[in-house]
Structure 1
Amino acid sequence: MRIALTAFTRRGTGLAGKLSHDLAEIGHSCALAVPERLSPETGLPGYGSLGEWAGERFADTDALLFVGASGIAVRAIAPYVKDKFTDPAVVSVDEAGRFVVPLLSGHVGGANDLARLVARLIGGTAVVSTATDVNGRFAVDQWAREQGFFLDGREGAKRVSAALLAGVSVGLSSDFPVQGGLPQGVVEGPAEAGIALTLDPEKEPFSHTVRLIPPVLHLGIGCRRGTAAETIAAAVERVFADHHLSLKGVDAVCSIDLKKDEPGLLAFSQSLGLPLTTYSAEELSAVPGDFTPSPFVKGVTGVDNVCERAAVRRGGTLIVPKQAGEGVTVAVSQVPITIRFSEKGD
């Protein structure tokens, strides 16, 4: 998690420095800044306007951690708050380190978990107030974030949470095997509101459905030199629509190393927020399986198939064989997944 920290007093800066160090030690990326008046004596980067600093951090970090009065933090972030599905986590800690308060995006953004972690690091108390946590109910948005699943259907998520809080059972539909028990209040079968674990962006087994899409797809692509990113995107979108797959399920974009500098392919990968993974012709040729051969492709690249072999080389089983059009070839593999809830369902 990319965490931006700040404090408003000398004492608070000391605690913020400790947290920045401790959080970095366990794998988080931390950046600590202070008001300009504290910069000379602390040697830390300074800012002139807390509001401007907060606005910039809303755009480039996963979490903001304020050490100081919660009211100051609230006023600083107020102009930038949009909704819980896009806002970063915001946590406030008093400068004595006694109380850690998640202020914004407790579940989806991870503020509740960050508050609990910070409380453990400093021996404080996390003050979590979200209804599902207070009442010990399953929080579908937080669980999805913990699993790395994309949550599709904000209104459905609200309905599911409201039903669970009211003591009404919600349904579960899964295209993947489920191992172990279900969270309290979640049942397999019909319900007014429910959760669909699926790769199909149009699946709606309940009147109010929240779809949770796991990142288990590997996308293999081949293309002619100079193919535009828009052409590649259109080809991929067409294939995914035809096969009822969500692009939110893509975890990797793969090709042959001859394409590692292909501008269109790199731009397309970037649009998905993913790096382009490439393999040599030798690596692709060594992939076992029955693939769609092309003498022309072999003459150009040294391997008889790029898209299918690249997808499977990354992992999983081929679920969409080579689809070709407009100089682009597309194939998709899927890695196996088993859904597991914790014993307590939290």
Structure 2
Amino acid sequence: MNHLKIVSFTEVGRRLGEQLARALSDVRAERYARGADESLRGTSLARFAQQAMFDCDGVVFIGAAGIAVRTVAPYLRGKAEDPAVLVMDEAGGFVIPLLSGHLGGGNELAKRIAAAVGAIPVLTTATDVRGVFAADSWAKTQGLRVADPAQIQFVSAALLRGAAVGLQSDIVVLGAPPAGVVLDGKAETGIWITAKTGPAPFVHTLRLLPRVIIAGMGCRRGKTQATLEAALQNACAAAGIDPRALAAVASVDRKADEPGLITLAASRGVPFLTFSAETLRAVPGIFSSSGFARETVGVDNVCERAAVAAGGKLICRKTVWDGVTVALAERPMEVSF
């Protein structure tokens, strides 16, 4: 959790908010003491909530739970999009995650706040109450993305009723799986850790996406983000890869200032890596060759070599889409229980 807003309404709440901000020193914790800061008295709480719900990882209300619920209700988007929303009483006795306890990290934040101020964390999610493995919380800690949040309920329900949940993974899984989870088990409900699309191995499959795909890209000058995105989608479709598993975009350093590539990477929340032509020429392997590329940027292939230079193993050779070349490589990754 990187960006948090702490809202209070009284002087007592303001002091508790200050204590929280000090305790969460590694988090950008902004305090909005509405009852104590004169500059905030005339501002709209609704406007504040709208901005916070879209821009922050979490919001902590110090005050009545009803105020928190009514304030954020108009801006709820869904399980996978909402930030963590917590409420605390002014005495600092209890801290309750109201939204995004698992995917948004609300439960872990509640535990951390409770430890810092001596409060009691009140967790209401069934898996936490029963001490059952929460697949979505675990996925977040491992850097895995939930492909379809609607499938979480099937995994949780199976574990809560004592049924086995299968696990298949295309990446290395370290450690013993938790109770109820069976590696490569034959089960109706299961977890599939993969960057691939295609038929799911279970009737109810919670697909978790590892960020392992490097998109090596080359393009003519001035290609728009929309065109580059279409080229990326085309390459992913050809390779049977979910583009949400993207870990980085890579190219030659001559493209380091290419606006379309920069904004494409930013829009997907991944780094844009560039390499010199000399570095790309030195990448070992057999690659497609283009005389035009050699003449214009000094290396016979940009997309395939860049994808490998960024730490991946080539899984999709050069594809061409409207003046854009794309190749995909997969880098190693492991998760652990």
| Superposition TM-score, scaled by structure 1 size | 0.91
Conservation of the 8 A alpha-carbon contact between 1:99 and 1:119? yes
Aligned match of 1:299: 295
Q: Tell me the amino acid that sits aligned with residue 31 of structure 1.
A: E
Find the aligned partners of 1:177 and 1:73 in 2 and give their Cα distance: 42
Quick one: which of 104, 108, 122 aligns to 1:109?
Answer: 104
Conservation of the 8 A alpha-carbon contact between 1:34 and 1:47? no
Q: CA 1:226 to 1:298, structure 2 compared with 1: closer, same or farther past 3 Å?
A: same
Aligned match of 2:263: 267
Q: Tell me the amino acid that sits aligned with residue 131 of structure 2.
A: G
Aligned match of 1:180: 175
Aligned match of 2:61: 66
Find the aligned partners of 1:63 and 1:262 in 2 and give their Cα distance: 34
Aligned match of 2:14: 13
Aligned match of 2:324: 328
Q: Deviations over 1:228-280 (max 9, x none)?
A: 22222222111111111011110111112222222322332233233422222
Find the aligned partners of 1:276 and 1:175 in 2 and give their Cα distance: 25
The residue matched to 1:38 in structure 2 has which SS? coil
Residues 243-254 of structure 1: pairs in structure 2 closer than 5 A:
243-254=239-250
Quick one: which of 37, 40, 43 aligns to 1:39?
Answer: 37
Find the aligned partners of 2:253 and 2:173 in 1 and give their Cα distance: 38
The residue matched to 2:178 in structure 1 has which SS? coil
Q: Tell me the amino acid that sits aligned with residue 58 of structure 2.
A: A
Q: CA 1:46 to 1:272, structure 2 compared with 1: closer, same or farther past 3 Å?
A: farther
Aligned match of 2:192: 196
Find the aligned partners of 2:268 and 2:150 in 1 and give their Cα distance: 24
Find the aligned partners of 2:331 and 2:179 in 1 and give their Cα distance: 29
Q: Tell me the amino acid that sits aligned with residue 188 of structure 2.
A: E
Q: Which runs of 5+ in 2 are unaligned?
A: none
The residue matched to 2:36 in structure 1 has which SS? helix
Q: Deviations over 1:212-231 (max 9, x none)?
A: 01001111100011222222
Q: CA 1:337 to 1:90, structure 2 compared with 1: closer, same or farther past 3 Å?
A: same
Report the Cα offset of residue 148 of structure 1.
1.7
Conservation of the 8 A alpha-carbon contact between 2:172 and 2:333? yes
Report the Cα offset of residue 207 of structure 1.
0.9
The residue matched to 2:4 in structure 1 has which SS? strand
Quick one: which of 134, 138, 143 aligns to 1:143?
Answer: 138
Aligned match of 2:307: 311
Conservation of the 8 A alpha-carbon contact between 1:231 and 1:326? yes
The residue matched to 2:289 in structure 1 has which SS? coil
Find the aligned partners of 1:47 and 1:336 in 2 and give their Cα distance: 53
Find the aligned partners of 2:241 and 2:320 in 1 and give their Cα distance: 17
Report the Cα offset of residue 321 of structure 1.
2.2
Q: Percent identity?
A: 45
Conservation of the 8 A alpha-carbon contact between 2:79 and 2:149? no
The residue matched to 2:274 in structure 1 has which SS? strand
Q: Tell me the amino acid that sits aligned with residue 184 of structure 1.
A: A
Residues 125-140 of structure 1: pairs in structure 2 closer than 5 A:
125-140=120-135
Q: Tell me the amino acid that sits aligned with residue 172 of structure 1.
A: L
Aligned match of 1:222: 218
Q: Tell me the amino acid that sits aligned with residue 227 of structure 2.
A: T
Report the Cα offset of residue 46 of structure 1.
6.1
Q: Tell me the amino acid that sits aligned with residue 173 of structure 1.
A: Q
Count of residues in correspondence between the two structures: 335
Does structure 1 residue 167 correspond to structure 2 residue 155? no
Find the aligned partners of 1:214 and 1:51 in 2 and give their Cα distance: 36
Conservation of the 8 A alpha-carbon contact between 2:235 and 2:328? no
